[in-house]
Amino acid sequence: MFWVCCFFFSDFEICMDSERKKVLPVTATEGHTDISVQRLAFLFVPMSGFCLGTTHPQGKLAMKKRHLSRLGYHVILVMNRKFQELTNEDAVEFLKGKIYAENTSPFSGVNVYDNN
């Protein structure tokens, strides 16, 4: 767990350049609200964090996602159970795909990825 701000935790945080091509050290970006730095917060959540039969976050998870988004984080939700079913190699490729995705914007809201 990684403490983000205002009593919120994320499973891990990554800071990247505006084009999402290069990962930046977190220590180099602390205290900066530079728009050229994109902050990604990954949350691994159980199915109970979503509305029944959907990928729409509910309750505390929805509030946490909203607050992290307002703090400037691009929140990526990953279903915990399905991620754990992946092999190590598949998990690395899955995360690389989400980290270096070109079509996601830091202001597009939440991305919930089904690992199918």
Read off the pLDDT of residues 6-40 as tens digits, 9 standing for 90 and up. Answer: 556 677 788 888 777 888 886 765 665 666 788 88
For residues 56 and 20, is the Cβ–Cβ distance under 8 A?
no
Q: Is the dihedral of CA 77, 40, 67, 9 positive or negative?
A: positive
Distance CA(45)–CA(47), nearest Å, equals 7
Please give the pLDDT value at position 78: 87
Question: What pTM was estimated for this model as a whole?
Answer: 0.70
Q: Report the pLDDT value the prediction gives residue 17, as an integer from 0 to 100.
A: 81
Output the pLDDT for position 57.
92
Please give the Cα distance from 98 to 116 (Å, whole number).
14
CA–CA dist 99, 89 (Å, integer): 15
Average pLDDT score, the chain: 76
